[in-house]
Amino acid sequence: MGQSYKSGWTYPDPKTTDKVERRRQRFFEILPGFLCWFTLIGMFVFSWMAPVYVAIFIILFDIYWIYRTIYISIYSILAYRKLKRWKKIDWFHRLKAIFKGDSLIDELKLEILDLKKELKRGKLNRIEKKELKQKILERGNFLVRAKDDLKNRKHFLSWEEVYHVIMLPTANEEAGIIAPAIEAVKKSNYPNDKVIILLAMEEREDLKKRDIKKKILLDKYKDVFMDFIVTVHEVKGNEMKCKAANTTYAAKKLRKYLDDKKIPLENVVLSNFDCDTQIYPEYLAALTYSYVTEPRRLNFAYQPLPMYHNNLWDTIAPVRIIVTGSSFWHMVEAMRPDHMVTFSSHSEAFKTIVDIDYWPVNVISEDSVVYWKAYNYFDGDYQVKPIYLPVSLDAVLGNDYWHTIKNQYKQKHRWAYGIENLPLLGRAFMHNKKISLLKKVKHMFTMLEGHHSWATASFILAVLGWLPLIFGGERFSETTLAHNLPYITRYLMTLATTGLVVSMFLSFLLMPPKPARYSRRRYANMFFQWFLAPIIAPFLGAAPAVHAQTKIMLGKYMGEFWVTEKVIKKDKKKKD
């Protein structure tokens, strides 16, 4: 099974040789792919055998999709509003102020009173009134949160005793890709002497390129932070060529470093970021506030909102649709934290990472597996705490159009390969008697349903509505249901396009500034790209998920972690 610092606790090994565990592993590996293909093939078979029932299913599914669309649209709007509020907050000021205790409450009340008096005086223009109202709202929100947080003040951890480690695993990325991520940390509203950069490199990278990358980054940033640590991981033993093995190696080196410095592990927050992750200036301060004021800080992962904005203007329309949809989905998840699982760039207490025995060294999906390990380690008492601030990452960009499409498919396939967590989670739940059956069923069903919907929903929406008319035969085609089915589905899908309109509107609000190299006509491309969504979703969204589930079902596992290729587009003359 594995090893852990908690006596009697283990987490399953995906490569187990135990016969019973291997059978369980294979059962859960086969299940998602079987259900996926049963659904896809069943669309055709049942459209021929039972067209009436399929027609009824189509109508019910369309109604469900309208509900889902409205649900996602509402939560996207709520998440955007919360993101907008958080971006206006000086989190470092809040972090220092919360330690004032009761005097802070009195200060805030007095400040709010003064601001309201100033607002009533008049002689203010519209912009000044808006700014005053914003200040009153922000101070009022802080007052409410401060009152709640100060109830646990005896459990506060002094922010000055907290250190942040920014781990940037890298394989083939050049220094030019990584430097903006480090620069964003440097320019953040947080003391650099409380930050350690951990550059986790791979031994299998070309030695000359690796040394050049290391020298460039060390020369530029070595003296900026508390420290700049570089590790070089070599694949050994049962390890895969994967990001998880690299992060585990680097984290173990970090632990030795902290032990030598006599820094308590609980005082260290490890942020495991993709090496192109550029944090929002207030992220570290907001993260620290959430960490030091949380009495059960070890029982939480801390998740920002991933936005693929670094090169959004440079990449192609199909990729923009895919990554924007991904950003919206994570915004929706942030509004219901009990459903959240860590993704891409996230942060945890380093003590928690050590206690759960780091990342497995033979899995592809390193970002979510660490959450499920911790969830089982804490017997279900573990959750994600959203940090409603963006971190900006690179969207897929290739050397040409089709190279970009190919890379986007590969990246989406790797993400969909996260279903490899289902067998591990299922086996872990079988051994953990302290987690309730209800919680186990809920999480297993949520993961299975999410990946099944990912692989099949787009195909159902695109194809299934016509299949009963094609395969249902003459007897079905003469029924009233057959005549009305196209009109019903068209009407229902027209209603569902409201979600597309909301996504389009929010995408423009969240969009980064237009680079000077592009003319204004680029905005038109950003608008019309959304009409491609129904076409793109099956091929760059669902197909990679079908591919991943099928490979695992057949035991054709990914041999190594596919690293997304990075291409930098330089600022040149304007173009469309």
Same domain flag for 238 and 355:
yes
**Number of CB atoms found within 10 A of residue 30's CB:** 16
Structural domains in the chain (count): 2
Is residue 183 domain-shared with residue 145, that is, in the same domain?
Answer: no
Claim to verify: residue 141 and residue 206 sit in the same structural domain: no
* Residue 22 in domain: no
In our burial notation (b when 16+ CB lie closer than 10 A, e otherwise), range 198-220 reads bbbbbeebeeeebeebbeebeee
Quick check: is 317 in a domain?
A: yes
Q: Which residues pair with 195 in a beta bridge?
A: 164
The helix-helix angle for 51-87 and 437-463 (nearest 10°) equals 110
Residue 309 within a domain? yes
Divide the 576 residues of the chain into consecutive groups of 10 and give the mean pLDDT of each group. Answer: 60 94 97 97 92 90 89 91 94 96 94 89 82 90 94 95 97 93 97 97 93 96 96 92 95 97 97 96 98 97 95 93 91 89 95 96 92 96 96 92 94 95 96 95 96 94 84 81 81 79 88 89 87 89 96 94 77 42
Residue 563: the pLDDT is: 85
Tokens of 175: 């220094």
Residue 227 lies in a domain: yes
Residue 161 domain flag: yes
The tally of CA atoms less than 13 A away on the side-chain side of residue 458 is 19
Domain boundary among 111, 135, 154: 154
Please give the residue range of the domain that contains residue 127: 88-154
122: left (phi over 0), alpha (psi -120 to 50) or beta: left
* Model pLDDT, residue 10: 84
DSSP-derived pairing of the beta strands 163-169 and 195-202: parallel
Is 226 found in the same domain as 143? no
Asked if 147 and 173 sit in the same domain, the reply is no
Neighbours of 477 (CB within 10 A): 13
pLDDT at position 573: 40
Note whether 121 and 193 are same-domain residues: no
Does residue 215 share a domain with residue 347? yes
User: 146 and 186: one domain?
Assistant: no
Statement to judge: residues 140 and 192 lie in one domain: no
Show which of 110, 135, 154 is a domain's final residue: 154
For 393, residues 6+ apart whose C-beta sits below 8 A from its C-beta are: 274, 276, 277, 278, 306, 307, 308, 309, 310, 344, 345
Q: What is the reported pLDDT for 574?
A: 39
For 304, list phi and psi in degrees, rounded to 5: -80, 180
257 and 384 fall within a common domain? yes
How many angstroms separate the CA atoms of 51 and 49, rounded?
6
Q: Is 118 exposed, middle or buried (0-12, 13-18, 19+ CB in 10 A)?
A: middle
Last residue of a domain, one of 108, 123, 154: 154
User: Quick one: tokens of 420?
Assistant: 């490899």
The three-state secondary structure class of 335 is: coil
Same domain? 317 vs 344: yes
In the beta sheet, which residues pair with residue 197? Answer: 166, 228
State residue 570's pLDDT score: 59
